[in-house]
Amino acid sequence: MLRAVYKWVDERLDVTPIWRDVADHEVPEHVNPAHHFSAFIYCFGGLTFFVVMIQILSGMFLAMYYVPDIINAHASVKYLQTEVAMGTIVRGMHHWGASVAIVMLFLHTLRVFFTGSYKNPREFNWIVGVLIFFMMLGLGFTGYLLPWDNKAYFATKVGIQIAESVPFIGSYLATFLQGGDMVGATTIPRFYALHVFFLPAGLLGLLATHFILIRRQGISGPL
């Protein structure tokens, strides 16, 4: 039955090459922890992606309750955390996941750096990777404000002051981030939009590029 359905779809859409392309590639021995335990360092990239998936899923659930305005933001997070079933766990996953994602990303960067995997012909993918790092930092910065507690508010204020001290473009940058001339009612929706639409869209685009390039170029050889 399943086979028949697959065949029906495949005849029309020719899906076999698409998934075959993902599935059919060889994993060389030197990156396979089953053969060399030390090859676990090659898992960091995959684990980063795994955490990003956790972030996206838990974030989608948080968005069901979160209200991005100065009056309700804090109350909605509090409600989510104290009243909603599993609320603490979902918020916990998103909160700790943010830190774990940065750690994993950092370890992955170190692995690529110290194995010299960024070298010819993979220069471009290295740059894409660094851009992914910036996106993740941006996600961390914008997400920190959203619970709208004192910690969030004052940290963001300091962050924006730092942005403001950039020569020439600083004041524009600060106005853009705040949506005005102070951290307040216009800042939360702005950070929220950046956090759930702009930056994730950029991140997913970069991740897609990252993975397509890996499939094109293959993983770097043994040292």
Partner 1 sequence: MAHNQDGNQKQVHYVGDSRVRVNSKEMLPPDYSQFPGKTEQFFPDFLLKEWMVAAVFLVGFMTLVMAESPPLGDIADPTNTGFLPVPDWYFLFLYQLLKYKWAAGPFISIGIIVVPGLLFGGLMLAPFLDTSKERRPLKRPATTWIAILSLLGVIGLTWAAEAEHVIQVSSSSGTPAKDKKIVAEQDKGYELYKKNACIKCHGDKLQGVQGPPLLGVGDRTKGEDEKLTRKDIEHIIDNGRGAMPAGMFQGSEADKQVLLNWLMQQKQK
Q: Which of positions 62-101 make contact with partner 1 (CB under 8 A)?
A: 70, 74-75, 77-78, 81, 88-89, 91-100
Q: Does 16 bind partner 1 (CB under 8 A)?
A: no
Task: Choose the binding region for partner 1 from 3-11, 158-166, 172-180, 194-202 (rule: CB under 8 A).
Answer: 158-166
Residue 53: count of CB within 10 angstroms of its CB: 11
Residue 81: count of CB within 10 angstroms of its CB: 16
Which of 6, 165, 180, 204 touches partner 1 by CB under 8 A? 165
Q: Of 109, 178, 103, which Cα lies nearest the Cα of 142? A: 178
Q: Does 185 bind partner 1 (CB under 8 A)?
A: no
85: left (phi over 0), alpha (psi -120 to 50) or beta: beta
Q: Does 119 bind partner 1 (CB under 8 A)?
A: yes
Cβ-in-10-Å burial (0-12, 13-18, 19+) of 117 comes to middle
- Measured between alpha carbons, how far is 187 from 69 in angstroms, rounded to an integer? 9
User: Which residue bears the tokens 């996206």?
Assistant: 56
Which of 132, 146, 152, 196 touches partner 1 by CB under 8 A? 152
Q: Does 204 bind partner 1 (CB under 8 A)?
A: no
Task: Choose the binding region for partner 1 from 2-10, 162-170, 173-181, 200-208 (rule: CB under 8 A).
Answer: 162-170
Which of 9, 130, 201, 208 touches partner 1 by CB under 8 A? 130
Which of 84, 149, 186, 205 touches partner 1 by CB under 8 A? 149
In contact, 183 and 144? CB cutoff 8 Å: no
Q: Does 33 bind partner 1 (CB under 8 A)?
A: yes
Cβ-in-10-Å burial (0-12, 13-18, 19+) of 59 comes to buried
In whole angstroms, the minimum distance from the beta carbon of 42 to partner 1 comes to: 10
In whole angstroms, the minimum distance from the beta carbon of 7 to partner 1 comes to: 19
In whole angstroms, the minimum distance from the beta carbon of 198 to partner 1 comes to: 19
Both tokens of 201, joined, read: 């869209």
Helices 73-82 & 87-114 angle (0-180, nearest 10) = 100
Q: Does 46 bind partner 1 (CB under 8 A)?
A: yes
Task: Choose the binding region for partner 1 from 3-11, 109-117, 173-181, 200-208 (rule: CB under 8 A).
Answer: 109-117
Residues whose CB is less than 8 angstroms from the CB of residue 87 and which lie 6 or more positions away in sequence, other chains included: 65, 79, 80, 81
Which of 69, 116, 204, 208 touches partner 1 by CB under 8 A? 116
Task: Choose the binding region for partner 1 from 125-133, 173-181, 193-201, 202-210 (rule: CB under 8 A).
Answer: 125-133
